[in-house]
Amino acid sequence: MQNCAAIASVDDDAALLSPSLLLIASSRRWKSAVHAAARELKGARVATCAAREAIIRLAGTAERYSHVLVQPGSADGWLTELVGLSAAAGCSSTEMLLLAPPDPPPPRVGVIRSADRRSVRQALSPPPDSANVDEPGMQTSELHDALAGAMIETRYQPIVRIADRQPIALEALARLNHPTRGTLLPDNFVPQIEDAGLAAQLTDLVGARAFADMAGQVGELGLLVTLNFPLDVLLVPEALARLDARREEAGIAPERVVIELTESRPVDDLTALARTLEDLRRRGYRVSIDDLAPGTPCLKELLALPFTSAKLDKHVVQTAEQPDCARFIESVVATAHRHAKLVIAEGVEDVPTWNRIQALGADYAQGFLVARPLPAAAVIVWYEAWMHRSAL
């Protein structure tokens, strides 16, 4: 078997000056080549670990890696998850390099063929003109193909209780694996899907995938699953009927499902929304409202509706040290608690932010400090590692 390795590059302005490399390899030749290349790069660091430990490291942000190098034969069956986590760690401009795989690499994943210093050094230092440029949006036919085929994947971002760090829920998030553009984050395809009138299909597909995963090993953790519903979809009775059918088919109790309202457009009819929320509650579902911020229309009225929880916008959470944002969070928390609602802080990426939102009264935390969005198989690994952590 040919020796090979994989590199996934994380978006980082300082990557070329001071790369931080995570190496998963058993081959002495690859180890030697990587270390030799790293010595030529100013301030470069190399950390070597097994594949399972790499999953744990990539799931959080205790260390930021500019590149992840994986020898496929040393991946212990985790290669897909490692590549997926590396892609998710960056943004749409993240460059990925897969080294000498036996099959063609995924889109936008380069290949390092030789286990020598020069080849590795060249891969770690792409030419200046290699930066990605903005691409035109996808055609409607491409969107239909994505929803009809296997391009849509689900990732799961954990939500934990702040008081005792106990995992509570997993939010199901969509990724689109485009045949030429690579893995796309929601901001790069969900608005187009909604504009094309296909939001209901995406919602149904993500829900079906999430229920299937919850019916498997992930479900044994006993966590809730949160599904995003755009307002237009939530208010359609047929969408709720499909939700019930998918859930019952998978054998998932409604009490384990949180329906999260995502406001792609403002709420125009609070009465209609209230009726829908009451219907969901009668069916046994929990319901949440997403992205609360100072500019949210009808905020006071929304918090009085029969939601079970409310989620703070991540930009508000990440600027909670500012007096205006802190006052807003305190006000939302007080109002939510008065209406027997729990408050989730999204975008918690460091310990100071965790401490601030805890002091401001938020109940749950979600963000990179806890975990990045994870493939289903990686959730189990993250959960076991998180439960054994003694501190943040």
Asked whether residue 309 is domain-assigned, the answer is yes
Residues 371 and 226 in one domain: yes
Q: Give the C-alpha separation, 64 to 344, whole Å.
A: 25
Q: Give the C-alpha separation, 5 to 23, whole Å.
A: 9
Last residue of a domain, one of 130, 157, 192: 130
Q: Is a pLDDT exceeding 60 seen at residue 104?
A: yes
Residues 246 and 270 in one domain: yes
Half-sphere exposure of 240 (CA within 13 A, CB side): 21
Asked whether residue 135 is domain-assigned, the answer is no
Report how far apart the first and last C-alpha atoms of the chain are (Å, whole number): 41
Residues 184 and 294 in one domain: yes
Asked whether residue 323 is domain-assigned, the answer is yes
| Predicted pLDDT at 11 | 43
Asked whether residue 392 is domain-assigned, the answer is no
For 88-232, strand residue ranges (E) read 96-98, 109-110, 152-161, 167-178, 182-184, 224-230
Could you tell me which residues come within 8 angstroms of residue 169 by beta carbon, excluding any fewer than 6 positions away? 158, 159, 223, 224, 225, 226, 258, 364
Residues 162 and 296 in one domain: yes
Asked whether residue 70 is domain-assigned, the answer is yes
What confidence tier does 360 reach under pLDDT thresholds 50, 70, 90? very high
Residues 320 and 212 in one domain: yes
Joined together, the tokens standing for residue 237 give 């009775």
Asked whether residue 112 is domain-assigned, the answer is yes
Residues 106 and 146 in one domain: no
Residues 259 and 215 in one domain: yes
Q: What is the mean pLDDT of residues 349-377?
A: 95
Asked whether residue 66 is domain-assigned, the answer is yes
For the chain, what is the domain count?
A: 2
Last residue of a domain, one of 130, 151, 180: 130
Residues 121 and 147 in one domain: no
What confidence tier does 70 reach under pLDDT thresholds 50, 70, 90? confident
Last residue of a domain, one of 104, 130, 156: 130
The pairing of strands 182-184 and 224-230 is unpaired
**Residue predicted with more confidence, 247 or 150:** 247
Mean pLDDT over the full length of the chain: 85
Per-residue pLDDT of 7-52, as tens digits, reads: 554 444 444 446 788 899 988 998 999 899 988 887 788 999 999 9
Neighbour-count burial for 318-338, b at 16+ CB within 10 Å, e otherwise: bbbeeeebbebbeebbebbee
For residue 362, what is the domain's CATH number?
A: 3.20.20.450
In the chain, % of residues over pLDDT 90 = 51
Per-residue pLDDT of 76-89, as tens digits, reads: 999 888 877 876 54
Q: What's the domain range around 150? A: 140-387
Per-residue pLDDT of 338-350, as tens digits, reads: 999 999 999 999 9
Q: Is a pLDDT exceeding 50 seen at residue 1?
A: no
| Predicted pLDDT at 9 | 47
pTM: 0.87
Q: Give the C-alpha separation, 83 to 9, whole Å.
A: 10
DSSP state of 254: G
Asked whether residue 55 is domain-assigned, the answer is yes
Residues 174 and 308 in one domain: yes
Residues 53 and 149 in one domain: no
Residues 357 and 242 in one domain: yes
Q: Give the C-alpha separation, 158 to 195, whole Å.
A: 29
Residues 335 and 266 in one domain: yes
Per-residue pLDDT of 297-348, as tens digits, reads: 889 999 999 999 999 999 999 999 999 999 999 999 999 999 999 999 999 9
